[in-house]
Structure 1
Amino acid sequence: MASLYVKDEEANELATRLAARRGISKTAAVKLALRGELAREEQVAPLRERMAAWRKAHPLGEPTGLEADKAFYDSLNDEDDD
């Protein structure tokens, strides 16, 4: 069995703080934090799936048959065709 040895003051401090809040050992705190992060990551759907769901919830309108040409865009900005 391989051991994990992390020589980092911030990691030690974070593990100590979590362990104290939960009343558990630092090893248990590290396991808890890693399990939590992995679970959160597994809940995030891939971007392709999130975009597909958004498109399904927000479908495009029906085509109007109107042409979006330079004159159309100029009219949005109150620009004359001079």
Structure 2
Amino acid sequence: MSLDIHDPETERLVLVLAERDGISPNEAIKRAVGDALKRTDGLPSLWERIRPIQDRALSRAATGLVADKAFYDALNGNP
């Protein structure tokens, strides 16, 4: 597989990292991606982190109130 980077800022960042560390652009990309994967390896997914919040929200008793368009318009300051 070959990557063809079309974003000038991405290319600039790769070249800055490569120059700073005295390595090739390919090695800079490999290290950066490897470091990013190490940081996130074993962390819960977004859905796993959100689940407790969803569970708490769903455990609240229903108020019986009905929210309609006029209600949301009033929240946004629209008449």
- TM-score range (shorter-chain normalised) is 0.5 to 0.7
Q: Which amino acid aligns with 1:7?
A: H
Larger Rg, first or second structure (1 or 2) = 1
The CA distance in 2 between the partners of 1:46 and 1:27, in whole Å, is 28
After superposition, what is the alpha-carbon deviation per residue over 1:36-63, rounded to whole angstroms, capped at 9, x for unaligned? 00110104345869xxxxxxxxxxxxxx
Structure 2 residues not aligned, in runs of 5+: 50-79
Residues 1:45 and 1:8: Cα distance change in structure 2 (over 3 Å) = same
Please name the residue that 1:32 is paired with. Answer: 31
After TM superposition, where is structure 1 displaced by more than 2 Å over at least 4 residues in a row?
Answer: 43-49
Q: What secondary structure sits across from 1:44 in the alignment?
A: coil
Please name the residue that 1:17 is paired with. Answer: 16
Aligned-pair identity in percent equals 35
Structure 1 residues not aligned, in runs of 5+: 50-82
Report how far residue 21 of structure 1 moved: 1.0
The CA distance in 2 between the partners of 1:20 and 1:36, in whole Å, is 18
Residues 1-82 of structure 1 aligned to structure 2 (within 5 Å): 2-45=1-44
Q: What secondary structure sits across from 2:19 in the alignment?
A: helix
Q: What secondary structure sits across from 1:24 in the alignment?
A: coil
RMSD, aligned α-carbons: 2.2
Normalising by the residue count of structure 1, what TM-score does the alignment of the two structures yield?
0.51
